[in-house]
Structure 1
Amino acid sequence: MNFESNKFEFSDLSDPLVSLVVPAYNAELYLAETIESILAQSYENIELIVINDGSTDGTQSIMSAYADRCKVVSHENCGQAATLNVGWQISSGVILGYLSADDKLEPTAVECLVSALKRSKSALLVYPDYRLIDEQSRHIRDVIAPEFDHRDVVLQGACPVGPGALFRRELLSCAGGWDVSLRQIPDYDFLLRVGLFGEVVKVSGVLACFRVHGGSQTFAPSDERKTDEYRYVLKKFFDRSDIPDYLRAARPEAEANASVLMARLHLRAGRYLAALRCLKNSIELSASSVFSVQTLRLLLNGLFGRYRHWLMMKIK
């Protein structure tokens, strides 16, 4: 893939300070375990910033117990995207990242990911494979993350980057931070922009843990406003002036597949008529893109996906 139009020179890395931000909203059940996993890293040059995003539970008291080992901040509730932007703005690291307050890092995660950034001067973001865990941190299964392909991110709505990703600070200058208006897919919106500016590298090996539980945002039913975010982020992306021609020409395919993803979210929430409207829109935009095995899998996931994860945890 050619990135020449958005070429950006990144600084060399030598024992870089890594700033990790943990946004915490009503995270009392898992926050201590998340913090401990970062403090236990084999890589020592880490700045940890934990931000209480207007929690109403015991999150603040848990954070305070670590005040001598990390930077703790509290503000009124403003959402994950805005909280991460605040954390990255006050951070000092040349490498940045974040970890959800219910996820974990394996002990060598930061060391391995920093090494990957050092090896590739063109890489601006690196990410690992990860493990699904349940409420008691028991292993569910490993997820082998796919290689990053910006075309798939744009046209298929793929979001291959899971927990543990790190990126160079310069990326915020060229791609911008997270969109504070988004609640469902701010990470996907970020990846759409990241792919315009350089290389995203997958690092093989399970280095992080993604927790599956009843309160997880990933599996919780989304309201109609959150579901509509796919339409908003694609419009914003294609309104840019620096989109490669091959992507701009495939906009109908991208919008058709986004409508399928919206239908999946409607199905999860039981909004079946809304799901049908999205499928109708998909067919009108690009029928050849919609009638596929992938579409069928996505729709079945919308109908039964949450039950599958529930059963997996019960079996454990």
Structure 2
Amino acid sequence: MSPKISVILPAYNAEQYLRTAVDSILAQSFKDFELLIINDGSIDFTKEIILGYKDERIRYIENEKNLGLIETLNKGILLAKGEYIARMDADDICHSSRFQMQIDFMEKNPEYIICSSSRKEFAHSISHFHLSVLPVDDTSIRIHSIFSTPFTHPAVMFRAGIIKENNLFFEKDYKYAEDYQLWIKILQYGKGYNFRMPLLYYRDTPNSQTNVGAGQIEQRKRTISNIQQLALQQQNIVLDQKELDFIYILSLSDKIRNISFEDFSVDFILSFFKKLSLELKSNYPNNKFNVNCVLGKRYLKILLFNLKRLPFTQLMKLGFSKLTFFGIYELINEKIGNK
């Protein structure tokens, strides 16, 4: 009998944190799963650690050579036997109720094909973390997706049938943002959801794919911009090149902190958000509040991150937009919702 969930966990030289990650999967309150641990050519003690487990739910797979993350993930998808596929990384930690909560939601809501959650990001100790909150409802997820990835990759669960029937896989052309691109494609076939409650402790390490990708500045910009344009196209939004350059800046907090106000004046920013707001409200006429909240959160970052860089009159000009107040509302709501 096939398991309900197939968990795909790639491991490459993962000896330092692998046991913690695997233990958090095996300790799940929901027990009906297989754990595919794919050793991608490790030269440390990754193999010995995996083979040291005697849990029959573990399927050990060893690549003949290092294939890289994208090919390894796709291999895992093809080998998965479960009705659902869940992702996990070799250095993260799952909440013990993660699978139960995700399965309960997906079983009760067949129109949803993918779900994930907010996350707690940490470096050394899980007691010292940064809470990264993602949009919850499908409309907000789609709006958020034009800026950046709308899901926490290692906390994702999706319906295996949708992926395999529509030949949806991670693509090499989108290296370091291959997950972002796949989520955009998946959302063409059904709805997405994020649990506000963080179901994953996300370990921020220098060797993480996100950090490695961040070092490939030009390649990453091209990749992210291409995915953003795909998300915009799906929502019938057309932007000119300057607007596309600006939406890329809005995808990264470090870029927002260093906006060139000579290139992107306050008047341009106000015009940009007005245009985007009108387009999105036309697409989601019954969800105008969601549009204001998602845009407001991004807009508020511009204001807060540049308080010391802008003249007072320009700050006032930005600050008196209604998006400022929606952004503040979102921040307060996030604080209250995660207590």
TM-score (norm 2): 0.68
Gaps of 5+ in 2: 274-297, 308-339
How far apart in 2 are the matches of 1:263 and 1:110?
30
Residue 182 and residue 60 in structure 1: after superposition, are their counterparts in 2 closer, same or farther (change >3 A)?
Answer: farther
Secondary structure of the residue that 2:185 maps to in structure 1? helix
Gaps of 5+ in 1: 1-14, 301-316
Residue 58 and residue 133 in structure 1: after superposition, are their counterparts in 2 closer, same or farther (change >3 A)?
Answer: same
Residue 299 and residue 223 in structure 1: after superposition, are their counterparts in 2 closer, same or farther (change >3 A)?
Answer: farther
Cα displacement string for residues 151-195 of structure 1 (whole angstroms, at most 9, x for unaligned residues): 424432343435322111122133611113333211111121122
Q: What is the aligned partner in structure 1 of residue 40 from structure 2?
A: 53
- 2:81 is the counterpart of 1:89: no
Q: Are the equivalent residues in 2 in contact too, given 1:150–1:195 (CA < 8 A)?
A: no
How far apart in 1 are the matches of 2:302 and 2:10?
33
Residue 228 and residue 179 in structure 1: after superposition, are their counterparts in 2 closer, same or farther (change >3 A)?
Answer: same
Cα displacement string for residues 13-32 of structure 1 (whole angstroms, at most 9, x for unaligned residues): xx961000001122111111
Shift of 1:230: 1.3
Q: What is the aligned partner in structure 2 of residue 39 from structure 1?
A: 26
Let me know the Cα RMSD of the aligned residues. 3.4
How far apart in 1 are the matches of 2:3 and 2:45?
33
Q: Are the equivalent residues in 1 in contact too, given 2:40–2:68 (CA < 8 A)?
A: yes
Any residues of structure 2 matched to 1:256-275 within 5 Å, and which?
Answer: 256-260=245-249
- Number of corresponding residues: 271
How far apart in 1 are the matches of 2:133 and 2:228?
26
Q: What is the aligned partner in structure 2 of residue 309 from structure 1?
A: none
Cα displacement string for residues 113-136 of structure 1 (whole angstroms, at most 9, x for unaligned residues): 100001101010111233223334
- 2:194 is the counterpart of 1:202: yes
Cα displacement string for residues 63-82 of structure 1 (whole angstroms, at most 9, x for unaligned residues): 22236531111222222222
Shift of 1:107: 1.3
Residue type at the aligned position of 1:159: P
> Which of 131, 148, 157 is the matching residue for 1:157?
148
Higher relative contact order (CA 8 A, sep 6+): 1
How far apart in 1 are the matches of 2:151 and 2:187?
12
Q: What is the aligned partner in structure 1 of residue 50 from structure 2?
A: 63
How far apart in 2 are the matches of 1:257 and 1:55?
40
Cα displacement string for residues 25-73 of structure 1 (whole angstroms, at most 9, x for unaligned residues): 2211111111111111111111100111222322222222236531111
Structure 1 or 2, whichever has the larger Rg, is 2
How far apart in 2 are the matches of 1:297 and 1:170?
43
- 2:157 is the counterpart of 1:166: yes
Shift of 1:258: 4.4
Any residues of structure 2 matched to 1:20-35 within 5 Å, and which?
Answer: 20-35=7-22
How far apart in 2 are the matches of 1:251 and 1:132?
35
- 2:225 is the counterpart of 1:231: yes
How far apart in 2 are the matches of 1:128 and 1:229?
24
TM-score (norm 1): 0.72
Residue type at the aligned position of 2:208: S
How far apart in 1 are the matches of 2:246 and 2:152?
19
Any residues of structure 2 matched to 1:1-316 within 5 Å, and which?
Answer: 17-66=4-53, 68-69=55-56, 70-75=58-63, 76-147=65-136, 148=138, 149-172=140-163, 173-174=165-166, 176-220=168-212, 221-224=214-217, 225-234=219-228, 244=234, 246-250=235-239, 255-260=244-249, 288-289=271-272, 292-295=299-302
Residue 38 and residue 251 in structure 1: after superposition, are their counterparts in 2 closer, same or farther (change >3 A)?
Answer: farther
Q: Are the equivalent residues in 1 in contact too, given 2:6–2:86 (CA < 8 A)?
A: yes
